[in-house]
Structures are given as structure tokens and as C-alpha cells.
Amino acid sequence: MKELKYDVLIIGGGFAGASTAFHLAGKGLKVLLVDSKPWNRIGDKPCGDAVSKAHFDRLGMPYPKGEELENKISGIKLYSPDMKTVWTVNGEGFELNAPLYNQRILREAESKGVEIWDQTTAMKPFFENGFVKGAVLYNRRSNEEVAVYSKVLVDATGYSRSVRSKLPQELPIAEDLDEKDADIAYREVLLTRDDIEDHDYLRIFVTQKASPGGYWWYFPKGKNKVNVGLGIQGGMGYPSVHVFYQKYLDSYAPDVDKSRLLVKGGALVPTRRPLYTMVWNGIIAVGDSAYTVNPVHGGGKGSAMISGYCAAKTILNAFEKGDFSAQGLWDMNICYINEYGAKQASLDIFRRFLQKLSDDDINYGMNKKVLKEEDLLEASEKGDLHLSVAEKAMRIIAGLGRPSLLMKLKTVAEYMKNIKQLYYNYPRSPSGLQIWKTQVDSLISEFNMNISK
């Protein structure tokens, strides 16, 4: 078998892998990125394709332009289950042609020296003396197997986790996922019969009946084109996502022309706190493979880009130090937690609460403004739900009935704050990981018990 050596081997060229390559490019390292798909399909995966503009600004990523940008977004309209209450949350974003944008980021990285092989699959990682040392690749273009050795391998393989899942199971980075911590999502892109009203606003329909544990979305891709779909919580024994899609499509997207279907497909989305450690000796995980998705709204492209940014920064530091051990790469965890992970953990708590609410509770809560649009915006931007909000609401609600809902909200706010704090106290070295993990796990089980009462 042919043997090659690179400094960094990135497996997977989706948003996470592409942004890792983008931030590493031109910095003097020999980098190879591989993806199983052919060039023109990289980045083509079932997705709502909506990403907040704030992510691009914060990371210095280029804005989508030309055909990469299908629609400019001004905000979100959030509908209660009975559709009687509609909250408008303003905020700029992009509705992307995701493959085109993704491929442009890869081309920019390539133009600065990153080598990219399409149609190339990582078959299995090399694991020697406790270190990941590279992987065996199968290149369909040349029909050959190649052994690639690396100082750092980046697992950017998406939900499949197809590299780190093949490592010895006792390694912390091989951590698996509870099915209930994932959503099964399906979407179609269709043309509409008429012009879409307020087509610069995304629509989100919260409904346990039509999408238990998730929500329906209607994301305009212009005046006459829409990405419509839903997610439901996994591991709950619900009927298939397709059953819900067929049954409720007319309720949430009555204007689509079913004979003009452009794309369809489904996939899984992790909806939990990030992987307890995103690194081990010689390896870093990014994007869906490291569970970086926002647990409440399921958006993972922005946070995949954040993880790519942190991975590149960590790798450059590791090369300066010449230390590729878990300790040498540990800054990845700290960087990601500070940028997004602590908020994500707090939203994991919020998500658990939301998934237990009945449609009745949600109608009531939205209608009576138990929580308000600005609280929701703050929870989603910062992962904070202020106790003052819960307490204020408590006073209102006390006069209206349903005190149990408000008691729960207070508990939620407390646990959100506590878990965030725990994440900010993330251990400074791998030796503290086990104790910290036990603390997080017990906080979550305690919350689950409290909220089920």
C-alpha cells in the first residue's frame, strides 16, 4: 500500500471540515482533506440551510454571494401550536445554497495550499501506542488504498462519526450518543404556487402533535421556493418522520406545488451538549461528529464553523509546541466551550424542558407571555434564562393558574445557569475529565428527575 505523510489529515469536507481547512490554509502546514463525495456534491446534505449572519461576522468567514445566497433573512416568526400567537424575533441571516458556499470555502483553502481529494473514504484510523496516527483511505478515482500518516487527524465526518467510532470504545473521544439526544429530520425543497408573503422571514411551528420533540419549519429560499420540513425526537418510538410529513404538510406549507419538488431527503441531528472531550492523542473531532449542534433549534452549520475555527487555532498551537497529545490539543475544548459549548449545554437543559411541554402549555405560555420574544432571543443567543424573568412570570401566572408550569420554568432557569457554570469550570487537563463528566451527568439526571415530577 502507498504510504504518505501529512501534518494534518481532515476527514470530511462539510461545513466543519471545510472551515478547519479554511483557517489552516496558508499557515505553513501540509494539510490533506478528503471526502467520500465527488466535488460537486460536497456540502449537499439534507438541511434547512438557514444560518445566522452573526456566525460569519464573528469568525471572519466570507458572506455567501451570487448563487451561494438564495435568500436574505430578516428574522423568524414563531407560531404557537394553535397558530393563535405569532412571535417575531428579528435577526439577520442567510438562506444558503449550502453546497455552493461549502465548495467555495474548500476552493479558497485549496488555493492556499490545502490538498483536497474527493471520492476518497477513510476506511479506518491507525491507532498505535495510544495515539491516532492517520488512516487508511480508499480513493475511488485512482481505485487504490493509501496509508496516510498525520500528526493530527480531524474527524469532520458529520453524524456518522465514522472515524472516532472506530477507535477503542474506552477512549473518551469514542463517546456514543443516546438516541433521545438526536432528532430525526426530513425536508423537501419545493416551488410555491404564489409569491410567499414576507419571504424574508423564516417560519417555525412549534407543535408536539405534528412534530413531537421537534418542530416544523418553512424557510423561504426566495419568493417562490421554500425549504419545508420537520424534526422529531429520536428513541421515543414515534411513527416515522415521513408519516408526520405526509399528514401535516398541508397545514404548514399549504402553498407548495407538490408536482414541483426539487430536492428531498432526511438525516439525523445531534441535539445535546458537545462531546465531553473533542480531542484525544492525535485526534480532534469537529461539527456534528463532536455534537456541536444547537440543541433547541437544531442549527449546526454556524457552530460547525466555530468548531473548525477552534480546531485550526489549536492545531497551529500544537505544532508550535510540538505536542499532539490530548494535553497538547486540550485548548480545543476550552476554545469551543467559551465560544459556544457552555451555551449549548445550557440549551440542552432548555431543550429537555421544551420536549416535555404539552401543546396546551405552549399555547398558554406563548399567549400569556410567560416568556417573551426577548427572553427567547437571549436564551438562544447566550443560553441564559434569567431567574428574574421566571420570577416575574411567576407573579403574573400565580393569578392565572398553572403554577406548576412556572415552578418548572424557575427550575429550568436555575439548572441552565448551573450547567453553564460547570462548563466554564471545564478541567484544564485530561486528568480532570472523568470527575467533571460525572458532575455534568449527575446534574442532568437530577434535572431530568426534577422536571418529570
Question: Would you give the binding string for ligand FAD spanning residues 22-41, x where CB under 6 A is met?
Answer: ------------xxxx----
Question: Would you give the binding string for ligand FAD spanning residues 154-173, x where CB under 6 A is met?
Answer: --xxx-x-x-----------
Pick the closest to residue 368 from 99, 115, 84 (CA basis). 84
Does position 444 interact with ligand FAD (CB under 6 A)? The reply is no
Shortest distance, position 419 Cβ to ligand FAD, whole Å: 21
Residues in the interface with ligand FAD (CB under 6 A) total: 40
Q: Which three cell numbers stand for residue 323?
A: 505536542
Does position 49 interact with ligand FAD (CB under 6 A)? The reply is yes
Burial 253-265 (b: 16+ CB within 10 A, else e): bebbeeeeeeeee
Does position 341 interact with ligand FAD (CB under 6 A)? The reply is no
Question: Would you give the binding string for ligand FAD spanning residues 216-235, x where CB under 6 A is met?
Answer: -------------x------
Residue with cell 422571514: 201
Query: Which one of the spans 67-75, 152-160, 167-175, 326-334 is the region binding ligand FAD (CB under 6 A)?
Result: 152-160
Q: Which three cell numbers stand for residue 284?
A: 480532534
Query: Which one of the spans 13-21, 62-70, 251-259, 314-322 is the region binding ligand FAD (CB under 6 A)?
Result: 13-21
| Phi, psi torsion values for 229, nearest 5 degrees | -175, -170
Shortest distance, position 420 Cβ to ligand FAD, whole Å: 22
Does position 13 interact with ligand FAD (CB under 6 A)? The reply is yes
CB of 223 within 8 A of CB of 199? yes
The whole-angstrom separation of Cα 151 and Cα 442 is 35
Does position 317 interact with ligand FAD (CB under 6 A)? The reply is no
| Phi, psi torsion values for 44, nearest 5 degrees | -90, 95
Residue with cell 476550552: 334
Out of 213, 302, 383, 430, point to the residue binding ligand FAD (CB under 6 A): 302
Does position 21 interact with ligand FAD (CB under 6 A)? The reply is no
Please state the separation of Cα 416 from the chain's center in Å.
19
Three-state DSSP class for 245? helix
Shortest distance, position 165 Cβ to ligand FAD, whole Å: 10
The whole-angstrom separation of Cα 11 and Cα 110 is 15
Pick the closest to residue 324 from 7, 4, 5, 3 (CA basis). 7
How many Cα atoms occupy the beta-carbon half-sphere of 429 within 13 Å? Answer: 3
Pick the closest to residue 4 from 150, 154, 151 (CA basis). 150
CB of 371 within 8 A of CB of 393? yes
Out of 9, 21, 23, 45, point to the residue binding ligand FAD (CB under 6 A): 45
Question: Would you give the binding string for ligand FAD spanning residues 394-413, x where CB under 6 A is met?
Answer: --------------------
Out of 22, 33, 46, 405, point to the residue binding ligand FAD (CB under 6 A): 46
Does position 354 interact with ligand FAD (CB under 6 A)? The reply is no
Query: Whose CB is nearest to ligand FAD?
Result: 300
Burial 271-290 (b: 16+ CB within 10 A, else e): bbbbbbbbbbbbbbbbbbbb
Site for ligand FAD in 101-130 (CB under 6 A): 121-122
Nearer to ligand FAD, 46 or 282 (CB): 46
Q: Which three cell numbers stand for residue 55?
A: 456566525
Q: Which three cell numbers stand for residue 56?
A: 460569519
Give contact residues for ligand FAD (rule: CB under 6 A): 11-17, 34-37, 42, 45-51, 121-122, 156-158, 160, 162, 185, 187, 229, 267, 269, 287-288, 293, 298-302, 304
